[in-house]
Structure 1
Amino acid sequence: MKTQKNFRPFVAAIAAALLGGALAGCAPLLVGGAAVGTALMVTDRRTSGAQIDDEAIELRSASRLREAFGDRAHINVNSYNRQVLLTGEVPSEAAKQQAEQIVGRVDNVRGIVNELAVMAPTTLPQRSGDTLITGKVRASFVDASDLQANAFRVVTERGSVYLMGRVSQREADRATSIARQIAGVQRVVRIFEVVDATDLRQLAPVSTGTPATVAPAPAPAPAAAPAGGAVVTPVR
C-alpha cells in the first residue's frame, strides 16, 4: 500500500506533462501550442479571439525564427493573450535582439518578455528535466483545490519556471508559492495579467498594456506582479 501511495504523485506528474504537450512545448524553435479545443476554449480566461491570435503568433514566430536561425538557436515561443515569452539559447547578444525584433513584427504581438540566454543549446537530458519540472508544477496546480489549473501556462527552461495567465493577486501568489517548492526549480518568473476577481468572473478581455519587463525581486518573498508585467521571484 505504501508503494502505491508513493507512485501516485509520479503518475500525476507524468499525466500533467502529457497534457502539457497539448498546451506548451519544449523543442528547438518550438511553438507554445495552446490547444484550442472546444472544452478548453470554454474554460480559458482569454477570449476566443485572443486564443486564436496566440496560436497564429506562435506559428508565425516559430516559422520566421526558423528561417532566420535554422539549427543555430534553440528558441521556444509561448504567447498568452498576445504577450510573448521567448526562452531558450542563442549564439550571441545580437541574435537575441534579432529574435525579439523578428517576433515583434508579427501581427497582434503586444509585448515580449525576452528570456533568451546567450550560451550553447541545452542538452536533451536538460530539456527532459525541464519537462519533468513542468509536469510536477502542473500536477501540483491540479492538486490545489483553490486554483483553476487551466488558468496557468507553465514553461520551464534551465530550471527557471515561467508562469503565464490571467489571474487574481491571490492566485498569482498561491501559484508562485507552490512552484517555488518543486524540486529542481531555480527561480519563478511571473508573467501574469493580474485581474480583479470580479472581472475574472465576467471573463472580461484585458486592454492592451505596456510590454512586460523582467526585474529582480527585492525580497525572497513572492513579489506582486503588475497587470501585464513580469516579476522574477528567486527560490531560496
Structure 2
Amino acid sequence: MKKKAAFVAQRSIITLAAGAALALALGGCVPLVVGGAAVGAGMVATDRRSSGAQLDDTNIEVRGAARIRDIANDNMNVTVISFNRQVLLTGTVASEADRRRAEEVVSQVDNVRKVYNEVVVGTGSSIMDRSNDTYITSKVKAQLVSQSDIFANNFKVVTERGVVYLMGIATRAETDRATEIARSVDGVQKVVRIVEIVSASELGTTTGGTGAAPAGSSSSSVPLPPMAPLPPAGTPAGGGATTSPVR
C-alpha cells in the first residue's frame, strides 16, 4: 500500500512538473476568457482555427455537455470535446442505446459538422484511470512543446483510458510527427488521429507563413490513410476515426 501511495505521489509530482513546463513554454500570454474558459492570447493568435470556429467550439462543448446532462443516468459518463466544429465523444455508458442517444443529442447542437463517437459500453473509469489519463495528456503536451520541428498548438490532446486522441488542423508530416511523439510516451495504448489535413503550400501561400488554416479548411479536408481499425472487443463499431496502434 505504501509503495502504491508513493507511486501515485510521484506520478502527481511529474504531472504537475509537466504542466508547469507546458505553462512556461507558452509563457508571456495574457489570458483571454472565451466562453468561460481562460485561453492564452498568444495561443488564440496562432490557432489555425478561425476565431468563429474557436467560439463555436466553446459553445458546442458547453451546449453538448448540457444535452448529455439532460439524458444522463447513473451509468452515463460522457465528455464532449470540439475542435473546428468536429466533436469527439469519450467515456462510458451502460448500453448501446445510451451510446447512440448521446451521439444523437450532441449532433443536433448548432454548428456541429461531425461527431466521432468513441464512447464505450462498460463500467466507468476509476480514479486511478483518470489520474493516469491526466498524466499521459500532460506528458504528451510537454513532449510536443519541447520539439523544434512541430508546433504544439496545432493539436488538441485528449486521453481516455490510455488512448490518446489528437485533434487538429495540420499537414500530413506534422500529423505523423505528432503521432510518433504521442506513441513514445509511457502508458499510451494507441493514438487516434482526428485531424484535418492541409498542405504546406496552403498554409504558406494563404497565410503568409503564419500557420493559420486556409479559409476553406473548415468545410473540406483530406482524410488520413487507412490504418489499423479500432479493436472490436468492447468498442462499438462506427466511430469513424483512424488509429495508429502503439507497436
* TM bucket normalised to smaller: 0.7 to 0.9
DSSP 3-state at the match of 2:203? helix
Aligned residue among 78, 81, 105 for 2:81:
78
CA separation of 1:158/1:214 partners in 2, compared to 1, >3 Å: closer, same or farther?
Answer: farther
User: Which AA in structure 2 matches 1:14?
Assistant: G
Which residues of structure 2 form unaligned runs of 5+? 1-12, 25-35, 230-239
SS at match of 2:98: helix
Give, in whole Å, the separation in 1 of the partners of 2:74 and 2:62: 17
TM-score (normalised: structure 2): 0.76
Deviations 1:178-202 (A, max 9, x none): 1111110000000000101132242
**Alpha-carbon contact 1:62-1:77 (below 8 Å) kept:** yes
Where does residue 181 of structure 1 map in the other structure? 184
TM, length-normalised to structure 1: 0.79
* Among candidates 79, 86, 111, match of residue 108 of structure 1: 111
1:45 lines up with 2:48 in the alignment: yes
Asked whether the 8 Å contact 1:53–1:108 carries over to 2, the reply is yes
Q: Which runs of 5+ in 1 are unaligned?
A: 1-7, 20-32, 219-228
**Conserved? CA contact 1:15–1:135, under 8 Å:** no
| One-letter amino acid matched to 1:231 | T
Letter in 1 for 2:19: I
How far did residue 76 of structure 1 move?
A: 1.1
Match of 2:18 in 1: 13
Task: Compare CA radii of gyration and give the structure with the larger one.
Answer: 2
Alpha-carbon deviations, 1:3-54, whole Å to 9, x = none?
xxxxx976652326779xxxxxxxxxxxxx8754432221111000000000
Cα distance in 2, alignment partners of residues 10 and 207 from structure 1: 33
Q: CA RMSD in A?
A: 2.6
Which one-letter code corresponds to 1:193 in the other structure? E
The farther-off stretch of 198-207 and 64-73 is: 198-207
- 1:73 Cα deviation (Å)? 1.1
SS in 1 for 2:118: strand
